[in-house]
Amino acid sequence: MVVSVMVRIQRRLVKKRYYGKSQYEYIVYSLNIPKEFHEAIQPFLNKSLDVDAQTEYDKLTITLTLKRENSRRKSVS
């Protein structure tokens, strides 16, 4: 089943102050997930994800995949 809903990408400017003197600014983009997709994203919550974004004409495709854990783990002695 394909569900089509409208979303907007939000942009906000974050300002960080260091030692009360200098200020560092950077832009953060966010995308709210509509309620229709909340059940689909549950398995991905609190997990590390790889992000890939591709544009084609007037289409933006953002792909999130589970990050593979490193196969070489440190042994605890």
Q: What is the pLDDT of residues 3-61, one digit of tens each?
A: 778 889 999 999 988 887 788 999 999 999 999 889 999 999 999 999 999 999 999 99
Whether 47 maps to a domain, the answer reads: yes
pTM of the predicted model as reported, rounded to 2 decimal places: 0.65
Whether 20 maps to a domain, the answer reads: yes
Whether 3 maps to a domain, the answer reads: no
Residue 2 pLDDT exceeds 90: no
Residue 71 pLDDT exceeds 50: no
CA dihedral (39, 44, 50, 55) in degrees, to 10, reads: 0
Whether 25 maps to a domain, the answer reads: yes
Structural domain harbouring 61: 9-66
Q: Please give the tally of structural domains in the chain.
A: 1
Alpha-carbon distance of 52 to 6, in angstroms, equals 21
Q: Which amino acid is at 3?
A: V
